[in-house]
Amino acid sequence: MAPGVVRDSIIECFLRLGREASIEEITNAVYLKIGEISKSSVRSYLSLNTPGLFERVDRGVYRLNGDAGITPSLDLTSSPKAVGKSTIFFDDAIEWLKRQKDNSIHA
Q: Which domain does 20 fall in, by range?
A: 5-74+81-106
Per the structure, how many domains does the chain have?
A: 1
pLDDT band for position 107 (cuts 50, 70, 90) = very low
51-63 pLDDT, tens digit per residue, is: 888 889 999 899 8
DSSP bridge pairs for 82? 87
Task: Measure the N-to-C terminal CA separation of the chain; round to a whole number of Å.
Answer: 30
Which stretches of the chain are DSSP H helices? Answer: 5-17, 23-34, 39-48, 93-106
- Please report, for the domain that includes residue 61, its CATH number: 1.10.10.10
**Which amino acid is present at 105?**
I
pLDDT (tens digit per residue) in 41-51: 888 888 888 88
Contact 42/62 with Cβ under 8 angstroms? no
Closest CA to 22 of 71, 56, 53, 66: 56
Q: What is the pLDDT of residues 12-42, one digit of tens each?
A: 888 888 888 899 999 988 888 888 888 888 8
